[in-house]
Amino acid sequence: MQRREFIRLIGGATAAWPLSAHAQQLDQVRRVGVLMNNAENDSEAAAQLVGFRQGLQQLGWSEDRNVRIYARFAADRPDQYQVLAKELVALQPDVIFGYTTPINAALQRETRTIPIVFAQVSDPIGSRLVASLARPGGNLTGFLLYEKGITGKWAAMLKEIAPQLERAALMANPKTTPYDYFLRSAEAAVQSLAIELVPSPVENAADIEQVMTAFARLPNGGLLVLPSGTTSLHRDLVVELAARYRLPSVYPFRFYVTAGGLMSYSSDLIEQSRQAASYVDRILRGASPAELPVQTPTKYVTTVNLKTAKALGLDVPPSLLLRADEVIE
């Protein structure tokens, strides 16, 4: 065999090897665990899971051929986080996709070896999920829900639409969200806005009703709802009470506003699930989570409900309407 032909054959084999290895990888049935804080019948949870599945499918992973997804739902029950985390880890999946900070903390306690991709986490460094955003360093990486200072943005929006506002309740379940992280951010922001911040932790529907009823007894109050499984689960109750007590409110997700809430400024949860599929894909192909940087949100969406504003007797400033990505009339 001549030297030139030998080199050509070797070069062809080298070029073909990655394609062959790639094909073999996609032909293997891989196991992906998913752990969500929501209830299985929650429409938002279903939409986010569909987004994740679509993201995987676009990258070549089909549940009919080469991937099996094992989903578990905690239904906003903190006592189930560790139970379900243990159950998923026992299945020995190739990678786990976890939603929210406490869910991923539970997963981290169960395994330091199975790769974990997180979403809807606000303070992964403070929560000790990663060493740094640029180099996570362990078996977790993923996607930030919000960047630091988001609570200040929500407070400023509340003051913009209700200039007479003097007090704002900061409501969430500390067991399902890093409450202190958001509280510190809010405290730094409200000083310049002349707003008194009222910490309002809740753990269930009864707490929500009690806290909002007591808070509404004084005038010129408003509501800042933090991202929390408890408030999301009981979003219809939160929106109903805000309307009953005429509390201007800013919400962390669009689905509160479509349910009748006043306004929201949020990242796109379904899109984040699709993006998370790209990290799951990279890990299934051999990437290490320790080397995949934590991603920050690239897009925020402002949604305003004009019907609710009118019912509350509020005039929406033109500047806010111009910034709105969606206006519900």
Length of the chain: 329
pLDDT of residue 26: 57
Q: Which two tokens stand for residue 288?
A: 């290490």
DSSP code string of 9-36: HHHHHHHHHHHHHHHHHHHS-EEEEEEE
pLDDT of residue 190: 85
For the chain, give every domain's residue range.
Answer: 28-146+269-298, 150-267+301-328
Residue keyed to tokens 């196991």: 31
pLDDT of residue 243: 97
pLDDT of residue 214: 97
Can you tell me the distance from the alpha carbon of 31 to that of 68, in angstroms, rounded to the nearest whole number? Answer: 5
∠ CA 198-143-305, nearest 5°, is: 50
**Residues 21, 242: contact at Cβ < 8 Å?**
no
Per-residue tens of pLDDT for the chain, all 329 residues: 444 443 344 444 444 434 444 444 556 899 999 999 989 998 989 999 999 999 999 999 999 899 999 999 999 899 999 999 999 999 999 999 999 999 999 999 999 999 999 999 989 999 999 999 999 999 999 999 988 789 999 999 999 999 999 999 999 999 888 899 899 888 888 888 999 999 999 999 999 999 999 999 999 999 999 999 899 989 999 999 999 999 999 999 999 999 999 999 999 999 999 999 999 999 999 999 999 999 998 889 999 999 999 999 999 999 999 999 999 98
**Residues 144, 295: contact at Cβ < 8 Å?**
yes
CATH code of the region 28-146+269-298: 3.40.50.2300
Q: 233 vs 45, 177, 208, 238, 306, CA distance in Å?
A: 10, 13, 11, 10, 24
Can you tell me the distance from the alpha carbon of 65 to that of 211, in angstroms, rounded to the nearest whole number? Answer: 50
Q: Which two tokens stand for residue 113?
A: 């070896």
- Parallel, antiparallel, or unpaired: how do β-strands 263-267 and 249-251 relate? parallel
**Superfamily of domain covering 150-267+301-328:** Response regulator (3.40.50.2300)
The radius of gyration of the chain from alpha carbons, rounded to an integer in Å, stands at 23
∠ CA 154-160-163, nearest 5°, is: 120
Same fold, 28-146+269-298 and 150-267+301-328: yes
**Residues 35, 72: contact at Cβ < 8 Å?**
yes
Can you tell me the distance from the alpha carbon of 130 to that of 135, in angstroms, rounded to the nearest whole number? Answer: 8
- By the 10 Å C-beta count (0-12 exposed, 13-18 middle, 19+ buried), 170 is classed as buried
∠ CA 102-250-267, nearest 5°, is: 55
**What DSSP character marks residue 212?**
H
**Residues 223, 212: contact at Cβ < 8 Å?**
yes
Which residues are CB-neighbours of 86 under 8 A, at least 6 positions away? 110
pLDDT of residue 191: 82
Can you tell me the distance from the alpha carbon of 48 to that of 205, in angstroms, rounded to the nearest whole number? Answer: 24
